[in-house]
């Protein structure tokens, strides 16, 4: 079951990664002599004219641009998301344990006990302010990126809340409870995945209104790599991503962020090292438009 849930989550996560941001018109109006900016629906959402990008390398970020970036880098969204996840991490472990329970096993022979444990787990979660705390993340993100308009995280949280209410309010059979539990696991982790990509998209929305097309393009490339990294490493990736953004926009050291990314690499998989290269590239781009 754990494997099938993961596959399902990954498939919907890929769909969410192709979502475009708003506020691009504001950015376009601020850039002069752009020959080609084309919105597409593939994994490279914006095609920039290379000549225009190179010509704008000497255009520096304004003080207003830098202040917005520093404010976003200093926001507490990533730490709040991690705290939220850690607080409710036992939900997945408890629910998946009962979902996989073999009725031939001594501990699972009593179906009424199994039903009680399943329902009790969701009941406690439903009334432990999970959805209220989940929605607090939306507020934090909005405060750090006022121009970012997205309802996808709120909609994902609505699905989580609906699932819990359905589980608590209905009298279901043993089989129905298992289906409800599976749906709750799915909706909860879908919401966590969306919370990560929303943070990345919010960062790009802040940059969309900056004065440098070169830096905007650089952040787009960084965001693409960050999403690929997050897809592979899940919630653990948020620390490296947030650390990188904060270090770069505050002109601090990026070594800790790179270390955090590389530590998440597994045998024959190098997403962390690849993301570390993206951190280096964005750091160079930021220095180019600020020094």
Task: Give me the mean pLDDT over the 169-196 stretch.
Answer: 74
Percent of the chain with pLDDT over 70: 62
Round to whole Å and give the CA distance between 139 and 100. Answer: 36
Interval 126-170: pLDDT, tens: 656 788 999 999 999 999 999 898 899 999 999 888 887 776 676
Round to whole Å and give the CA distance between 245 and 253. Answer: 11
Confidence of residue 13 (pLDDT cuts 50, 70, 90): very low
Pick from 30-44, 81-95, 185-199, 276-290: least confident: 30-44
pLDDT score of 33: 27
**Looking at residue 269, what DSSP letter applies?**
B
More confident residue, 17 or 149: 149
pLDDT score of 129: 79
Secondary structure element (H or E) that encloses residue 110, with its range: none
pLDDT score of 279: 98
CB 78 within 8 Å of CB 144: no
Residue 23 has pLDDT above 50, yes or no: no
pLDDT score of 58: 76
Interval 94-129: pLDDT, tens: 555 555 555 555 555 454 455 555 566 666 666 567
pTM confidence score: 0.75
Q: Which of 271, 279, 278, 194 is nearest to 233 (CA)?
A: 271
Q: Which domains does the chain have, with CATH numbers?
A: 2-288 (1.20.120.1640)
Confidence of residue 269 (pLDDT cuts 50, 70, 90): confident
CB 59 within 8 Å of CB 214: yes
Task: Give me the mean pLDDT over the 214-235 stretch.
Answer: 93
Six-digit token pair at 242? 């947030």
Q: Which of 112, 91, 109 is nearest to 101 (CA)?
A: 109
Most confident of 4-8, 55-59, 154-158, 275-279: 275-279
Q: What are phi and psi of 147, to 5 degrees?
A: -85, -5
Q: Which of 182, 175, 184, 219 is nearest to 73 (CA)?
A: 219
More confident residue, 193 or 40: 193
Task: Give me the mean pLDDT over the 271-277 stretch.
Answer: 95
CB 180 within 8 Å of CB 163: yes
Q: What average pLDDT is seen over the chain? A: 75
Instruction: Count the residues in the chain.
Output: 291
Six-digit token pair at 266? 């597994």
Task: Give me the mean pLDDT over the 20-43 stretch.
Answer: 30
Q: Token match 């298992």: residue? A: 178
pLDDT score of 218: 94
For residue 268, the tally of other CB atoms under 10 A from its CB is 5
């Amino acid at each position: 079951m754990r494997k099938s849930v993961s596959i399902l989550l990954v498939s919907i996560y890929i769909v969410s990664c192709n979502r475009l941001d708003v506020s691009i018109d504001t950015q376009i109006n601020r850039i002069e002599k752009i020959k080609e900016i084309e919105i597409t629906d593939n994994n490279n959402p914006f095609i920039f004219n290379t000549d225009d990008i190179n010509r704008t390398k000497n255009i520096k970020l304004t003080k207003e641009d830098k202040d917005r970036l520093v404010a976003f880098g200093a926001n507490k969204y990533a730490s709040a998301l991690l705290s939220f996840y850690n607080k409710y991490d036992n939900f997945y472990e408890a629910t998946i344990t009962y979902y996989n329970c073999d009725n031939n096993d001594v501990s699972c022979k009593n179906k009424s006990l199994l039903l009680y444990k399943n329902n009790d787990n969701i009941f406690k979660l439903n009334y432990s302010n999970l959805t209220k705390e989940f929605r607090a993340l939306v507020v934090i993100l909005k405060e750090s990126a006022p121009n970012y308009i997205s309802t996808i995280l709120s909609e994902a949280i609505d699905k989580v809340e609906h699932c819990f209410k359905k589980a608590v309010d209905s009298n279901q059979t043993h089989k129905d409870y298992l289906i409800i539990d599976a749906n709750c696991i799915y909706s909860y982790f879908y919401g966590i995945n969306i919370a990560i990509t929303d943070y990345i998209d919010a960062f790009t929305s802040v940059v969309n209104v900056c004065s440098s097309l070169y830096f905007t393009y650089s952040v787009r490339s960084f965001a693409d790599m960050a999403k690929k990294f997050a897809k592979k490493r899940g919630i653990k990736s948020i620390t490296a991503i947030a650390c990188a953004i904060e270090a770069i926009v505050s002109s601090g050291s990026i070594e800790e962020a790179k270390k955090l990314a590389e530590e998440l690499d597994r045998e024959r998989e190098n997403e962390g090292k690849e993301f570390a290269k993206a951190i280096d590239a964005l750091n160079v781009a930021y220095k180019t438009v600020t020094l």
